[in-house]
Amino acid sequence: MNFEKQFEEIKVKANELVEEVRRLLQEGNVRRVIIKDTSGNTFMEVPLNIAAIGVIAVPVLAAIGALAALAADFTIVVERAVKAGAAAPEAAPTEAQAEPAPTAP
């Protein structure tokens, strides 16, 4: 079975960073998570595989929590392994990305 790399960028606020990474850790097809600030500087790069997720989850999430104090906004670059020729899964928008509900006139 052939797999190819696909990348996705998710913009989050500092207070949403840990929860979003926790959600990504639970997905089976995420191979790497890169956390960048608004200037594009890489703060952290975490390679993932299914066997290591339980072992690295707690210390990685603690480090990401400390990292969130350094900036207000972050971009999470997610590398996924998908079957060759398959469409990339569409990620659910976070609260920061969701559009506000329309107001009544």
Domain ranges of the chain: 3-83
Rounded Cα distance between 10 and 83, Å, is 22
Tell me the mean pLDDT in the region 47-55: 62
Type of residue numbered 84: A
Tell me the per-residue pLDDT of 5-34, one tens digit each, with 9 for 90 and over. Answer: 899 999 999 889 888 988 887 787 888 899
Helical packing angle, 53-67 and 17-26, nearest 10°: 160
pTM for the model stands at: 0.66
Tell me the per-residue pLDDT of 54-101, one tens digit each, with 9 for 90 and over. Answer: 556 667 777 777 877 777 889 999 998 888 766 555 555 554 454 444
